């Protein structure tokens, strides 16, 4: 669906910051073959042309190289992250790119489900058919105010940030997503914790944030069944 972070080349699709033409050709000196298959997401496009597609392993590899990734250090095990590892774990392999794609896709699906929770809870009556995704972009160096506040309180900064523009039955709504490192899920390999919420850039979004904050506070203050018994 998306390319890894923002690409500053000139031939980009403004809706997803990816090259207008999918680059599926192997990169020169690429050490192993990567899949060119693309998975279809559950996320509908705002233009009605079906659902968004995720990038293939080859597309993701090419995008990472365009952003300056030195694959040789990883493949040869020279990157610091491989220090102390032995055997197959001491180098980057084609299967690792497959795992990256799976995690990338799972994170996007999780983000969309979180957006649907907001939309269904607060805006079902005005958009019963549900929202659609119009565009998205990523910028790991552009931290949200909430992320900065968390940093001030002693927490880690997110390792990535996405901005998604959602079409709510003709109305554009801006959502922001912070990606934090979490414990690895042994079954899925997922390790990211997502903080998904409407951006504080419109009166409607601010009101939504206030309503949800109040509901959460009220739920925490409500007496539990144990305390009533």
The residue segments making up the domain with residue 214 are 12-220
Residue 118, pLDDT > 80, answer yes
Res 29: pLDDT: 77
Give residue-wise pLDDT tens across range 53-63: 999 999 988 88
Domain count, the chain: 1
- H/E stretch holding 205 reads helix 203-221
| Residue pLDDT, tens place only, 123-163 | 999 999 999 999 999 898 999 999 999 999 999 999 999 99
Among candidates 26, 39, 44, 35, which has minimal Cα distance to 115? 44
Based on C-alpha coordinates, what's the Rg of the chain? 20
Q: Does the pLDDT value for residue 226 go beyond 50?
A: yes
Q: Answer whether residue 226 is part of any domain.
A: no
Is 83 within a domain? yes
Q: Is residue 43 part of a domain?
A: yes
133 Cβ contact list (under 8 Å, min separation 6): 43, 44, 45, 46, 52, 112, 164, 165, 166, 167
| pLDDT interval class at 190 (50, 70, 90) | low
Residue 104 or residue 173, greater confidence: 173
Instruction: Give the total residue count for the chain.
Output: 229
The DSSP element (H or E) to which 80 belongs, if any, is none
Report if residue 200 sits inside a domain: yes
Mean pLDDT for all residues in the chain: 83
What confidence category does residue 11 fall into, taking pLDDT thresholds of 50, 70 and 90?
A: low
pLDDT category, 211, cuts 50, 70, 90? very high
Half-sphere exposure of 175 (CA within 13 A, CB side): 28
CA distances 154 to 160, 175, 191, Å, are 18, 25, 20
Is residue 134 in some structural domain? yes
In a domain, 155, yes or no: yes
For residue 5, tell me if it sits in a domain: no
Flag whether the pTM goes above 0.85.
no
CA torsion angle 58 61 65 76 (round to 10): -120
Does residue 23 lie in a domain region? yes
Q: Where are the beta strands (DSSP E) in the chain?
A: 12-13, 18-19, 40-44, 51-53, 132-138, 160-168, 171-181, 192-198
- Asked whether the beta carbons of 50 and 44 are under 8 A apart, the reply is yes
pLDDT at residue 86, as a whole number: 47
Coil, helix or strand for 18?
strand
**Is the pLDDT at 69 greater than 90, yes or no?**
no
Residue 66 has pLDDT above 70, yes or no: yes
Counting residues of the chain whose pLDDT is more than 90, the rounded percentage is 53
pLDDT level of residue 94 (50, 70, 90 thresholds): confident
pLDDT value for 83 = 54
3-class state of residue 190 by DSSP: coil
- Closest by alpha carbon to 175, among 126, 132, 227, 224? 132
């Amino acid at each position: 669906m998306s390319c890894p972070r923002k690409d500053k080349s000139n031939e980009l699709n403004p809706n997803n910051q990816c090259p207008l033409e999918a680059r599926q050709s192997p990169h020169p000196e690429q050490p192993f073959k990567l899949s060119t298959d693309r998975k279809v997401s559950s996320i509908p496009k705002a233009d009605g042309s079906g659902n968004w597609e995720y990038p293939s392993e080859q597309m993701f590899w090419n995008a990472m190289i365009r952003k300056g990734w030195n694959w040789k250090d990883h493949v040869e095990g020279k990157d610091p992250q491989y220090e102390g590892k032995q055997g197959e774990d001491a180098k980057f392999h084609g299967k690792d790119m497959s795992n990256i794609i799976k995690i990338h896709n799972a994170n996007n699906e999780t983000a969309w489900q979180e957006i649907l929770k907001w939309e269904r809870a607060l805006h079902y009556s005005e958009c019963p058919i549900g929202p659609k995704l119009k565009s998205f972009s990523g910028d790991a160096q552009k931290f949200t105010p909430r992320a900065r506040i968390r940093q001030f309180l002693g927490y880690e900064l997110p390792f990535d940030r996405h901005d998604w523009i959602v079409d709510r039955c003709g109305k554009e709504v801006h959502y922001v997503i912070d990606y934090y490192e979490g414990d690895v899920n042994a079954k899925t390999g997922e390790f990211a914790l997502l903080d998904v919420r409407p951006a504080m850039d419109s009166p409607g979004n601010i009101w939504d944030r206030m309503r949800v904050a109040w509901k959460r506070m009220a739920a925490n203050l409500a007496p539990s069944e144990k305390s009533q018994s």
